Structure 1
Amino acid sequence: MGRIESPEVTMIRRLIGAVFSLLSLVLFVGLLLGLIWSASLMGLVDTSGVDSPVIEDVVEPPQWFIDSPFVWEVPAESQGGEPPEVDPNASPPEGDPGTTSAGDVTSDEVEAEIHTQVNEIRAEHGLSQLEHDDEIAAIARTHSQDMNEREYFSHTNPEGESPADRFGNLYPSECRAVGENLAYIQTGFGSGGSAEEIAERIVQGWMDSEGHRENILREGWDTEGIGVYMADGRIDATQNFCTTT
């Protein structure tokens, strides 16, 4: 004769089965979130949807506001767009923010590494070396700070200013052509690596994107300024190009 269970025993068995199923689901979700977090710390690059940069006439690109744990970057584009929407109570920065840091890594170290690596790449392609310009770097650094503090990511700031506008009196009087590359990395609780590693991730991301690559390998550039701002688990980088001759 087969064993007959009481309704109470059957109910207990079902509850135990449901608990094990729930625990399995929680474990799966935890593993999935762990993989996503690991990917963010590795600095994965997404360059989908970006096009060619503007060289001779820099105008406002389409709006870009990207909230992601990955590395994103956008070259200056030839299509106009609206300024990004930000907190109306947030004010734009006033002047060069100077040196910032994440862990033991400082922003000026990353800026120097990016400049070195870009010139190494240009040398490999038989191109002239770019001169570093402190005034252009200050312009780039201020834009990186603005994007970080007002939480947007765009060549056009909330006031509607394009890269050419931010160059002020330098364009077109001293820089007859200008260009811009942008990038940001969300580092979470870490620094994102050494200065060399952070710079390599940014530069490699630019080289893997057609628009950024064209900017970096353009023969006409002779000057650049790199501006990096590090705060709140995020690293913003702006690379501004200039043709003075």
Structure 2
Amino acid sequence: MTFIRKLLVLTITLIVGFWLGTSGILNGTTVGNWMNTIVSYLPSSGDFDRLDLSFDQTPFINNSFTLPYSSSNDEELEAPSVSSDQADDIDVDLIENTIIRLVNELRDEQGVGTLTSNDMLRSAATIRAIETEELFSHTRPDGSDAFAVFDEEGIHYPYRVAGENLGMATHYLSDEEMAELIFNGWVESEGHYENMIRPDFEEIGVGVHYDGEYLYATQLFGTQQ
């Protein structure tokens, strides 16, 4: 019981002391200066707002997905043009090219050879980026796996091996900085990093989708038969 009384007295003392320190009543006194020093170390509401914002801005990176596959269809098709509804609000080419550049710089550092940009992979990656707004997963909204995207009309990529990386983040930086942010998220994730430096990948396509708040990015890697 004595402990509880002491705890209550301490709590009341701190509350009263905090009020006196913030009200300015004791300004100029030794006690007032001491209280002001304590108050200065306490976080303000603005600090908490910035803390919340930093969590919102952290990119969410989904698990990488790699799959070997063979196809007997050797028909050559021109890659279809696929665009995001909010594409006018961002520089899609800048974001995609920045991500590809960063991937190739990383691969060059690791001595595994750079990747060639492939239009079919880019078109498929754009479809996947749009789909991840609805379902952020390597399973597509219709329940099929990620690489079923190669069965879409106009998409043809007969691959020996393929991989997918997904990423999303609140759009709050410049387009180039957003590309770097998502790329760095992939680098920090073991599975995504392994996809980006996998030696047997030869080609890459990057797709981007922006819904007005979040930026979605998809990397598709592949090696054709």
- With the shorter chain as reference, the TM-score category is 0.5 to 0.7
8 Å CA contact 1:100–1:107 kept in 2: the answer is no
8 Å CA contact 2:209–2:215 kept in 1: the answer is yes
Number of equivalences? 171
Q: 2:186 aligns with which of 179, 197, 206?
A: 206
Question: Would you say 1:175 and 2:120 are equivalent positions?
Answer: no
Q: 2:82 aligns with which of 96, 101, 111?
A: 96
Residue matched to 1:59: none
Residue matched to 1:139: 124
Task: Give percent identity, aligned residues only.
Answer: 30
Post-superposition, which runs of at least 4 consecutive aligned residues in structure 1 deviate over 3 A? 27-31, 98-103
Residue matched to 1:109: 94
Q: 1:74 aligns with which of 32, 49, 62?
A: 62
Larger radius of gyration between Structure 1 and Structure 2: 2
Unaligned stretches of 5+ residues in structure 1: 1-16, 44-69, 79-93
Rounded Cα–Cα distance in structure 1 between residues aligned with 2:99 and 2:222: 16
Q: 1:34 aligns with which of 41, 45, 50?
A: 50
Residue matched to 2:168: 184
SS of the aligned residue for 1:235 comes to strand
Residue matched to 2:38: none
**Offset at residue 35 of structure 1 (A):** 2.1
Calculate the aligned-residue CA RMSD, in Å: 2.8
Q: Over residues 208-240 of structure 1, what are the superposed CA-to-partner deviations in whole Å (9 max), with x where a residue is unaligned?
A: 110001100100000110001112211000000
Change (3 A) 1:99 1:135: farther
TM-score of the superposed pair, with normalisation by structure 1: 0.62
**Offset at residue 102 of structure 1 (A):** 7.3
Unaligned stretches of 5+ residues in structure 2: 1-15, 24-42, 67-79
Rounded Cα–Cα distance in structure 2 between residues aligned with 1:221 and 1:193: 30
Residue matched to 2:4: none
Q: Kindly indicate which of the two structures has a greater share of residues assigned to helix.
A: 2
